[in-house]
Structure 1
Amino acid sequence: MQNKIFLFIVSSVLMVSGCQQPAPTAEAEFWGRLQALCGNTYEGALVSEDEVDAEFQTADLWMDVSACSGEQVTVDFMNGTDAVGHWELTRLSDGIELRHRHDGDAVTGYGGFSTENSSGSRMNFPADEATKALFDAEGIPVSKENVWAVEVRPTVFRYELSRPNRFFLVEFGTTTPSGRD
């Protein structure tokens, strides 16, 4: 009788442990973190110190996670009442895509796809081939080395641009939505 009870317990434990869900992929974890911000606005500030970004040092920076569908999230990067640009993140079957949209600007629609060195809290997006062609056509070939990153942690959203001799980082506190519209 004891052997039957023991076998029942062991087989039950094995069945339950075999039913556990696999760990979420980095993309799924990141997407869940990003979607949690949907519909909210957050105050931000420039963190990097490149001289070319001096205008942002005292700017009224904030973001609006304005549009969220199952597979796309749009974040409006704002300076006061003006949109600096829009970050469109799209969840694909094999990763996440980042596109930059700028209203009325010829340099728009650029970006790239998440890389293997991304994580559940940070996605890295090197410039893709279409972006490199756009940058060549617009006379800014130095930007072909751009790598953008979006990081979503429990208390902060970070957007970063880096390439040789260039670094831009802005952070938005996500603990409490700002209530801006």
Structure 2
Amino acid sequence: MTTLLKNSLQFLALFLLVLTGCTTAPATQSQEPLTFYSSLASFCGNSFQGTVVHPSDGTDPFAGKPLVMHIQTCSDTTLRIPFLVGEDRSRTWLIRKTPDGLQLKLKHDHRHEDGTPDDITMYGGISAAPAEALTHAFPADAHTAQLLPAASTNEWTLALSPDGKTFSYILKRDNQLRFQADFDLTKPL
């Protein structure tokens, strides 16, 4: 092949790539990083202080009590995050990847002091957002609606700020904000 022909073919290939706007093959969804999950897992073994942001009038039962989240156990599929309210250690958030890895599931695991499950436990839902998003809203699933009919319109939101400094836990019911706690990820306890 002559040098002129070879250079012409290389130019044509480059021109076609530029013309189509593609310089590399597009990544498939399964190749995308799980930004939220992996970012939260990077704090594994650390605890963080939180504050009640809403309601701000001090009427929430958690108001004035120390709030602590401990990112305790992190596997490829599940994050276990005990959420302490004062001396109450009964709550753990479970964040799991769905089997296809494209979404996340949030469950609230409530236990008695002896470790036995509470009657009201394992409620939550599946996020509609792709797993790489920094904010995930979890509408109440069918199990939650059956277990807690009043919570059938609940939507929990877990969010990491874009700068990675804050984790927020938010609860809405009937599309009205009921509770929000923010945790400072810059100051591990």
**Count of residue pairs brought into register by the alignment:** 173
Name 1:70's counterpart in structure 2: 76
Decide whether aligned partners of structure 1 residues 144 and 23 sit closer, same or farther in structure 2, where only a CA change above 3 A counts: closer
Q: Deviations over 1:7-34 (max 9, x none)?
A: 43664795x9224645778882222222
Q: Give the structure 2 partner of residue 18 of structure 1.
A: 24
CA-based RMSD of the aligned residues comes to 3.1
Structure 2 vs 1, CA of residues 109 and 38 (structure 1 numbering), >3 Å: closer, same or farther? same
**Which residue of 41, 45, 66 corresponds with 2:51?**
45
Alpha-carbon spacing, 1:82–1:147, altered in 2? closer, same or farther (3 Å):
same
From 164, 175, 179, the counterpart of 2:186 = 175
CA distance in 1, matches of 2:57, 2:33: 34
Paired-residue identity, %: 26
Q: Tell me which structure has the larger Cα radius of gyration.
A: 2
Paired amino acid for 1:155 = K
d(CA) in 2 for partners of 1:42, 1:113? 25
**Greater relative contact order (Cα 8 A, min sep 6): structure 1 or 2?**
1
Provide the rounded CA distance (Å) in 1 between the counterparts of 2:83 and 2:124. Answer: 15
Residue aligned with 1:168, SS: strand
| 1:103 paired residue number | 111
Q: Distance in 2 between matches of 1:168 and 1:2?
A: 70
8 Å contact from structure 1 (residues 50, 166) kept in 2:
no
* Distance change >3 Å, CA 117–CA 167, structure 1 → 2: farther
Residue in structure 1 matching 2:66, options 60, 70, 79: 60
> Which position in structure 2 is the counterpart of 1:158?
168
Question: Equivalent residue of 2:108, what SS?
Answer: strand
Structure 2: tracts of 5 or more residues without a match? 113-117
Question: Partners in 2 of 1:24 and 1:44 — Cα distance?
Answer: 33
TM-score w.r.t. the length of structure 2 is: 0.77
TM-score, normalised on structure 1? 0.80
Structure with more of its chain in helix, by fraction: 1
Q: Aligned AA for 1:8?
A: Q
C-alpha contact 1:50 1:167 (8 A) present in aligned 2:
no
Task: For residue 152 of structure 2, give the secondary structure of its aligned residue in structure 1.
Answer: helix
Residue 115 of structure 2: aligned partner: none
CA pair 4-97 structure 1, distance change in 2 beyond 3 A: same
Q: Which amino acid aligns with 1:168?
A: F
> What CA distance in whole angstroms lies between the structure 2 residues aligned with 1:99 and 1:26?
24
Structure 1: gaps spanning 5 or more residues: 136-140
- Seen in structure 2, the aligned counterparts of structure 1 residues 117 and 28 have a Cα distance that, compared at 3 Å, is closer
